[in-house]
Amino acid sequence: MDLPPLTVLLAGPRGFCAGVDRAIKIVEEALAQHGRPVYVRHEIVHNRFVVERLESLGAVFVEELDEIPDDGQPVIFSAHGVPKSVPAAARARALTFLDATCPLVSKVHRETERHYARGLHILMIGHAGHPEVVGTMGQLPPGSVTLIEDAAAARAVEPVSQKLAYTTQTTLSVDDTAEIVAILRERFPDIEVPQKEDICYATTNRQAAVKAVAERAEFVVVVGAPNSSNSLRLREVAERGGAARAVLVQRGRDLDPSLADGCHTIGITAGASAPEVLVEEVIARLRERFSVTIEEVTVATEDVVFHLPAALRRRAAVG
């Protein structure tokens, strides 16, 4: 039986960014150098496939440091960053630790500290409870940062000081953040702005790519985890960008291919913590029901690479 034709637009860039790639390599290299187990505080990145693969290699994921025994094995902090209290607690226990915080998140941490040192109160645009937000706010004493989650909060906020700076989570919607920033700058004309955009290049590129796909697609599939901020934003951007419907799935088996029935063209993208093998699973799932033609839609080429921490590089060189 002939299968109905379906054109699949693959958004590019998609999937792993340099920060995610570095974080995963830190766990792999730590296992290679230190052996099993290597402990990881929180999910190294927000993707269960990645986490389960690393578990199979010997990584043990914990929520807090007090779950880690005193066995001399290292602990790794996730790509999202941690409050200053976490490395302080690790030092107090003489734990060996490796920091897999994305360098672009670390940039936000240092920028926030510089603003605070100059006597500014920080307005942080981000989502309450997200590990990156918790980590960034945890760089400073309590009360030094006010969280702004949306445009309504930006209109309503009454900061404790008029000497202000703003910073943002790196994985937000570019369009939503622009609206919030415009409100803050109108209300507080003297507010200090980031020296360079805080929303990372990977988030910006993936949202631009999914927009380019969504304007041509009737339906968009975003491959990513439900607790991944950048993946959730891709689904929202796809719907706003013109797709009649967009869904988030973790992998191929989670997709109901009948959702594409009646469609001529659909789009696929992947969040920054989703490996390409999961995109391939989704395509394979669609091929069970359709005769699929693939078209790449690329809006940017990425060549960013972040180096491993110096401690791992030194040991690898010696080995």
pLDDT beyond 70 at 20:
yes
35 and 97 co-located in one domain: yes
234 and 180 co-located in one domain: no
- Encode pLDDT of 277-301 as tens digits: 999 999 999 999 999 999 999 999 9
pLDDT (0 to 100) of residue 196: 84
Tell whether 303 is covered by a domain: no
pLDDT (0 to 100) of residue 318: 54
pLDDT (0 to 100) of residue 311: 86
Residue 318: phi and psi, rounded to 5, are -65, -40
pLDDT beyond 70 at 237:
yes
pLDDT beyond 60 at 48:
yes
pLDDT beyond 70 at 148:
yes
pLDDT (0 to 100) of residue 197: 84
149 and 121 co-located in one domain: yes
256 near 226, Cβ under 8 Å? no
| Confidence bin at 315 (pLDDT 50/70/90) | low
| 96 CB burial (10 A radius; 0-12, 13-18, 19+) | middle
User: How close are the terminal C-alpha atoms of the chain, in Å?
Assistant: 57
Segment 109-124 mean pLDDT: 97
Residues 122, 23: Cα–Cα separation, whole Å: 28
Amino acid found at 98? L
176 and 215 co-located in one domain: no
CATH number where 36 lies: 3.40.50.11270
pLDDT (0 to 100) of residue 316: 58
76 and 110 co-located in one domain: no
- The reported pTM is 0.94
- Encode pLDDT of 77-92 as tens digits: 999 999 999 999 999 9
- Encode pLDDT of 177-219 as tens digits: 999 999 999 999 999 999 888 899 999 999 999 999 999 999 9
Count CA within 13 A, CB hemisphere, residue 241: 26
Amino acid found at 295? E
CATH number where 284 lies: 3.40.1010.20
| Confidence bin at 74 (pLDDT 50/70/90) | very high
pLDDT beyond 90 at 314:
no
Domain extent, residue 176, equals 104-187
Tell whether 159 is covered by a domain: yes
pLDDT beyond 70 at 149:
yes
Tokens matching residue 319: 């080995």
Q: Which residues are catalytic?
A: 132
pLDDT (0 to 100) of residue 317: 58
Domain count, the chain: 3
62 and 116 co-located in one domain: no
**Helix (H) / strand (E) containing 248:** strand 245-249
| 222 CB burial (10 A radius; 0-12, 13-18, 19+) | buried
pLDDT beyond 90 at 313:
no
What mean pLDDT, rounded, does the chain reach? 96
283 and 206 co-located in one domain: yes
144 and 97 co-located in one domain: no
Segment 66-74 mean pLDDT: 96
**Helix (H) / strand (E) containing 296:** strand 291-298
| Confidence bin at 145 (pLDDT 50/70/90) | very high
